Structure formats: C-alpha cells, structure tokens
A and B are shown apart, each in its own frame.
Chain A
Amino acid sequence: MTAPTSSDSGRPDNPEYAAWRERYDEANLRDKPFETMSGVPVEPIYGDGPYPGEYPYTRGVYPTMYRSRLWTMRMFAGFGTAEDTNARFKDILRNGGTGLSTAFDMPTLMGRDSDSPWALGEVGHCGVAVDTLADMRDLFADIDLSAVSTSMTINGPAAVILAMYIAVAEENGVTPDQLAGTIQADIFKEYQAQKEYIYPPRPSVRIITDMIRYTTAEMPRWHPLSISGYHIREAGSTAAQELAFTLANGFAYVEAATAAGVDVDEFAGRLSFFFNSHSDFFEEIGKFRAARRIWARWMKERYGAKAERSMLCRFHTQTAGVSLTAQQPEINIARVAIQALAGALGGTQSLHTDSYDEALALPTEKAARIALRTQQIVAHETGAADVIDPLGGAPYVEWMTDEMERQAEAIFAHLDDIGNGSILEGVYAGIDNGYFVGEIADAAYRFEREVNAGHRIIVGVNDFTDGDDGEQHILRIGPEAEEYQRKRLADVKQARDDAAVAASLAAVTTAAEDPEANLMPPIIEAVKTYATLEEVVMAMEKVFGTYVEKAVL
C-alpha cells in the first residue's frame, strides 16, 4: 500500500493515480481552501485505487465527489392540500432551491381518492392529497416545470401521478422532454417491506416497464425509478439484507426492462437508489461502499452495460426513522448527526436528515430546521467533505465493505437459484414464497429480543432512562384538509364530462388487457378528462386484480 503523501508528486509512477488525477484536475472545484480547521492543507484523496470515478467505484461515483459539489440536502416533507404544498414549493424556489420533493398522503399512495371510505382520517396527513388533474395543477401552479427538478415519492399508482404531471406541464406549454425529476416507482420493495402495493407483482412490473419505455423514448431528463432499500431497513432488515434486496430489485428491473426490448445503456444510467443510514457507523459505511462496487460489477459483467453511467450506483440517503426514540426525543439529534456523517463518509449523492421528534408525529418546524442544520454542520464544519472516501484503506472499513459484499452475494446466489438463473424470477419467487418478509421479520424479532433481554442497549429506552421530562410538542393536522379535499373532489366530478371519462377509462382497461400496449398514453388521456386517481387505478385492477399478502410471521 502506498503511503499517503502531501502532494501527488510522491506518486508519479502510478498510472492509475495519474489517470484519476487528470480527471480531477480538469474538474471544477468548490471555491474554498481544502485544509483543516488549523490550516493544514489536505489532499483530495489518500490511499490506493481504484480511485473514485473509476470502476468499480468503491471509493465514489465521481472523481471529485464533494470537492466539486456537496451532496444535495434534500428535505422531504409535506401535508395538507395541494395549495399548501404549492406555497411551500414557491418558498423553496425563492430561496434558491431547484428541487421539489413531493410527499403524498396515504390514500393517494394506495391509489384511493379522498372520498373513499379507506381514506377516513388519512387525507392530507403524511403528504398532499392528489385525486385529479385539478389537484396536480394546484400543486404546481405558477411554477415553470421546465426549470425545476421534481421528485415524487409514489409507487403503486406512480404511472397515474406521472401522467398527471405530464398533463399539467402540457397545459403550460412544457413538453415531456423538458421535464426533469424522479418518480420512485419501486414496486418490489412494496411487497417486501413498505406494503403499499395495489396489483400483483407481475402486472405491477409491466406498468413500470411501460413507464421506463415511455420515459426512455419521450423524457430523457426523467429518472423513472428510485430503487429503495430505505423501507426494507425500516421494516427491520439487517444492513446486508437492505443492501442485497435493494440491489437484487435493481437487477430485476434491469432484466424486466431489457426483456421488454429496452437496451440496458438506454435506461440504466437513469436508475438511482435510496438507502437508509442507521446507527452502526462502520457497518453503514461498508454498506454504501459495497453497494457501488456490486452494482458496477453486476451491470458490467452480468448485464453487459457499456456506458459508465449504467454502472454508477448513485444514491439518496435518509437517516433511520426507526432508530428515533419517543423517550428523551432530544437525544435523537445525536443519532441523526452520526447517521448523517456515515452517509457523507459513505459517499451519498443526497441526504435527508430526520427530525428528532418524528418518532411520535410529523416534525415541527423547529425540529425540521435542526435536522437540516445537522447535515450542514457535517458538510461545513467537520471537514468530512474535503477528502474523498476518507476512511478508504482503513482495515476495518475495507473488511466491512468486503463482508457486506459477501453477505449480499450469498443472497443473490439464493435468488438466482430460486429464479432458475434469473434474478427477476428469483425476486418474484421470493415475494410469492414469503422469503423477503420472512427474513425481515426474523431480523426484526431478533433485534427486539436482544433489546428486550438487555443484550443491546438503546439509550433512553432500556438503559439511561433518567431525564425524560415527558414534554412532547406534537404537530397535528386538523380535519379541515380532509373536508376541503372531499369538497374539491365532488366539485371536479360535478363539472366533468362523464361520457368522456368513461370512454377514457375503457381505453385504459383495453390497454391493460393487451400486453403489447403501453399503458402510459391512455392513462395520460384519462387524467386529462379528470378521471380520478382511483378510477384509473380501478380501470387497471379489472384486468390485473389485487394483491393480498400471505401471512409470514
């Protein structure tokens, strides 16, 4: 191992280093001195290659990482009506932000309208309610959709929401190819962990491949899929399971899309990932590093990707909501800080830090601000962003990276086996036979038993419990949003052309029946007639059926 040097002149003979250095020197860097608090200059990177931006990208997806640009501090929040969220969006844009993150309420996430009996008590609670094109129009009123990047966290009914977004843009003269953003649309993890599914897996994947085909052809700036391990971890998985299930889901989507005739390099570069950052610091960092290495190798070797972008595991990170305690909630600030630092040292592209009071309810404004400040401290005060992969080369970190990879590969081998040589079929089989939910439930139970037995200490919960003053500031959503939204929906239904709605929904059903058809165009037409989210969802459900989870405990 080459000893770190104070300048690159110490490594003139290393061609690997020289190649990386060339790319680094060509890049634009942040305008600040890269030195310690005490004024000691620091190198962009220490230790051996492969260097960042070089295959297999263990040390980072870009050659310069945070020296060029800090991670995106993406704070995801939202509740109430479309108008409330629109006001918040405009606030973000006024303050120089360009990325809008949209959280939807539970009925919307499940493809239900605000007037459904299932929606009772849930409308506008954990995000915005979108029933029809009218709501989507309110949500983005007076915002130039060609100039922003919008992230939409929705899965089961993602195609309908994307269709509404496209339709609103069109009304404002913005064409699909001008739209930039991400829609989560990761349905596999719904069956495995988050449980916000509508249809059985195979028709759901057909809808997603239709979206991938559509966006590949029409929306080059759009990311049609954010493959998410976050919810897998929140449901109780281990770090290695989070890593392996997420990447396996990614492989499965790649297999599904290529089977539908899309070339891997045409879409793989627009896939992105979403991971959890939990409290076991080095395990998390090892997980992030292993994710990049595994994805690159599988894309290159197994799926024949040629384009570098197809091999890059670019990911968003959120601190572990499940780690937040209701007891002594203020100490969650310390947990979030450590988890945020792990995300930064793991090379994340964007980061959401949780608010300390989120164990109980929606974050208060103050708590959300503290959460943002926490990652600003990591970015600007700790020096962690000045050196790329600063822990790379440390024996423990390298061992942990290898160990995460080893555990993940064992899981891939199992899925490949039960899928008879196909990860896609393996993921289907694992959903069907309860493998994923069973593994996650086992891990969650093991953890709880360890905590219960006192073998594992959670500060404030099973030890160091003094000091809980019981003070809780709870942000509540009143029933007004629900009442408003139901009335709004009734008005829209009253004013629309019912015959046009019925005809457009019939066209959606017809497209669903034809496996060769792409569902996106008829869905776009349907939402333009003010067919509701639930109506479009049901028009497909007639053909696709519903999914009921098997009890695996």
Chain B
Amino acid sequence: MARATRPIPELYEAARAGERRALGRLLTKVERGGAEADQISELAHPDAGNAHIVGITGAPGAGKSTLVSRLVTDLVAAGRRPAVLAVDPSSPLTGGAILGDRIRIDEGNDPGEGRRSFIRSMATRGHSGGLALAVPLAVRLFDAVGYDPVIIETVGVGQVEVDVVGAADTAVVVMTPGMGDAVQANKAGLLEVADLFVVNKADRPGADDVRRDLSLMLDLSHMTGQESDTGYRPPIVMASALNGDGHGDVWTAVDAHLAHLDDTDTRSARRRHRIRTEVRARLLQAMSDAADHEMSSPSGTEWLSKAERAEIAPTHATDQLLEQLLQPTEETS
C-alpha cells in the first residue's frame, strides 16, 4: 500500500487529540484483527473504562437508526460526545455489505461544532467470530479516546449480535407494533438481556398490545434474573422516533439504568461479565485458528486423508489432531 501510514502509537495519540481521520484508521485496524489490533487494545486499555456502553438492538425496520439519530442529536446538544458503532450483516456469499445506517444517524451531527459525535459502520464480514472480537475492541478504543456514551447498534438476529448487546452496561431492545416482535424477540433471547424496552412507532395501532405483551412476559419472573436479585424491572418506554416523541424519555431511562447499576454496585459485575465474554471469544477464536492450522499441517493432512479414505474413524483422526494441538511442538508453534 502506497497509502501514507503512521505508526500505531502516533495514530493513537492523534486520535486522543481529536483527529477523526486517525481514529477512523485505527478502527479499520481493529476490525482487521491480528497483531495491530492487539497493539491498539494494549494502548487503549489504560485510558478506557469511563464510557457508558449502551447496546441497542431490534428487528430490521424497528426504527433503531432513527431512534439512535435522535439520541445522538440530544446527546450532542447536551454537550456529550457520543460514539456509535452500527453493525450490519455482510453477505455470507460475497463478504460484501451495504451499510446504509449513516443516512439517518448522521442527522445528529452538527457540522458547525466540529462534530462531537463519531459514527462508524461495521460489517459482520461473514464470520460472526470476528464481530465478537472487533466490537469490544472498537468500544474500548472509543472509550479511551474520550467518547461517552458508546452506543452499539445491531440488528438483533444472530446470537453474536445478541451477546454483543447483552454485554453492554445498558441493553436497549426496540420493538414496533404489528411485527410480532415480542414473540420474535423472545425466541432470539433478547428479552433476557434487555434492561430497557422501547416500543417505537408508538403512534401506530397495536402499540399498546406490544406494551401489554411485554409486560406480561416480564411478569413471568424467569424472564429476568435481575428483578429477583436487585428489584430492577426493565421499563417499557413508548416512543415515536419519526416525529420525535419519547426519545427524551428513552435516554432518561438509559441514564436511570446506569444510576441503578451504580447504586446497586452491579456496574462492575457487568464489566466483569463483558471482559469474561471478550476473553472467551478471543480464546475460542485462537483455538479455532489453531484447529485450522493443525488440520493443514503435514501430519494433520495425513490424518485427515486417512479419515477421508475411511481407513480410520473421524473420531480417531480428531483424537490424533487434538493430541498434537495440545502438546506444543515445532509443527504447531
């Protein structure tokens, strides 16, 4: 690449000093993973830990982007520096993606003020494992260079997306009338992770039905472990992002949830959970990489082809590969 490259520490300092271009470049490296991403993680670690991390998810068409746009506008007006990480699925076939969320989110930016907000689109790039690694790192980077809150927006469809949002300090689940959302969300496991529900497009017929369904589901105590532990019951906020009703209430409820975490001393528990999730994801990724590596090693290929020729059982080949994997030799290092 002929493209001008600066060393990572230099980029990091520039990003800390407010250079958006440098932060943009660092986020690309974070997304790419590998040694450079690890280096950024190490650099950001001491400076991070201040931002309120908010996950927002919901079915496609629930109006998340419009809601986020409203929230960003309000946060900028209130003097905050919000960052948004908008995660969109990639095509599993080509790895390509169309990231269109900026259209609405960018409304919140104020060009006159040197843009206090920062919005970054991230594609899942076909492998959800990469997302589980890249998102926590990107969030740490935003946090370290001074953005607060950091909002992660995902389409609540896959397990990883749900996990990512569930690992936030405050997880917001957005629903709309007439889409059978409550049932879908229940299936996807979103109800368990939600700290706050937003019924968007609340001016539509059926909004009250959604509220009632949610209420009913929350009444079943097994839906939320929190309620038994700390007495916290996720509130349901009615909003219409399009005409601007209720988004103030949404952020009030998000703040209230943060206060609740602080009051009950559970924010650190969230953080511990988040770190555990991240470490586990990285371990799984490392093991997966090691497994791929092992399978393509000379002896791995040999065991594999024996299994393929049905000379040995697949279980036998696996045992052999696992043995090599677990005892470090020159071959796997």
Question: CB distance B98 to A553 under 8 Å?
Answer: yes
**Quick check: is B101 within 8 A (CB to CB) of the other chain?**
yes
- Encoded as 1 (CB less than 8 Å from any A CB) or 0, chain B from 41 to 79 comes to 000000000000000000001000110000000000000
Q: Contacts A420-B205, A433-B61: A549 and B103 contacting too (C-beta < 8 A)?
A: yes
Specify which chain A residues have a CB less than 8 angstroms from the CB of B244 in the assembled complex. 545
CB A414 to nearest CB in B, in angstroms, measures: 14
**Quick check: is A550 within 8 A (CB to CB) of the other chain?**
yes
Task: Give B106-144 interface residues, CB cut-off 8 Å to A.
Answer: 107
Pick from B61, B101, B244 the residue with the most CB of A within 10 Å.
B61
Point out the residue from A200, A420, A550, A553 that lies within 8 Å of B104, measured CB to CB.
A550
Question: CB distance A551 to B103 under 8 Å?
Answer: yes
Interface size on A, residues (CB 8 A): 12
Interface size on B, residues (CB 8 A): 13
CA distance A542 to B103 in the complex (A): 21
CA distance A179 to B326 in the complex (A): 90
Question: CB distance A553 to B103 under 8 Å?
Answer: no
**Quick check: is B242 within 8 A (CB to CB) of the other chain?**
yes
Q: Contacts A200-B242, A432-B242: A551 and B101 contacting too (C-beta < 8 A)?
A: yes
**Quick check: is A461 within 8 A (CB to CB) of the other chain?**
no
Closest B residue to A432 using CB positions: B242
CB A537 to nearest CB in B, in angstroms, measures: 19
Specify which chain B residues have a CB less than 8 angstroms from the CB of A545 in the assembled complex. 243-244
CA distance A553 to B60 in the complex (A): 13
CB B88 to nearest CB in A, in angstroms, measures: 10
Specify which chain A residues have a CB less than 8 angstroms from the CB of B242 in the assembled complex. 200, 432
Q: Contacts A200-B242, A420-B205, A432-B242: A550 and B65 contacting too (C-beta < 8 A)?
A: yes
Specify which chain B residues have a CB less than 8 angstroms from the CB of A433 in the assembled complex. 61
Point out the residue from A200, A420, A550 that lies within 8 Å of B103, measured CB to CB.
A550
**Quick check: is B100 within 8 A (CB to CB) of the other chain?**
yes
Specify which chain B residues have a CB less than 8 angstroms from the CB of A432 in the assembled complex. 242
Closest B residue to A546 using CB positions: B107
Question: CB distance B205 to A548 under 8 Å?
Answer: no
CA distance A432 to B103 in the complex (A): 14
Question: CB distance B100 to A553 under 8 Å?
Answer: yes
- Encoded as 1 (CB less than 8 Å from any B CB) or 0, chain A from 413 to 438 comes to 00000001000000000001110000
Closest B residue to A553 using CB positions: B98
Task: Give A510-553 interface residues, CB cut-off 8 Å to B.
Answer: 545, 548-553
CA distance A242 to B65 in the complex (A): 30
Question: CB distance A548 to B101 under 8 Å?
Answer: no
Specify which chain A residues have a CB less than 8 angstroms from the CB of B98 in the assembled complex. 551, 553
Specify which chain B residues have a CB less than 8 angstroms from the CB of A549 in the assembled complex. 103
Specify which chain A residues have a CB less than 8 angstroms from the CB of B104 in the assembled complex. 548, 550-551
Question: CB distance B107 to A551 under 8 Å?
Answer: no
CA distance A432 to B104 in the complex (A): 13
Question: CB distance A551 to B205 under 8 Å?
Answer: no
Point out the residue from B61, B103, B243 that lies within 8 Å of A548, measured CB to CB.
B103
CA distance A551 to B104 in the complex (A): 8
CA distance A269 to B101 in the complex (A): 43
CA distance A548 to B243 in the complex (A): 12
Q: What 7 pairs across the A-B complex have the smallest Cβ distances?
A: A551-B100, A551-B103, A553-B98, A433-B61, A553-B100, A548-B104, A548-B107
Q: Which residues of A approach B to under 8 Å, CB–CB? A: 200, 420, 432-434, 545, 548-553
Jot down 12 A-B pairs with beta carbons below 8 A, ordered by A. A433-B61, A434-B61, A548-B104, A548-B107, A549-B103, A550-B104, A551-B98, A551-B100, A551-B103, A552-B100, A553-B98, A553-B100
Q: Known A-B contacts: A420-B205, A550-B100, A550-B103. Give 13 more (CB < 8 A).
A: A200-B243, A432-B242, A545-B243, A545-B244, A548-B104, A549-B103, A550-B65, A550-B66, A550-B104, A551-B100, A551-B103, A551-B104, A552-B100
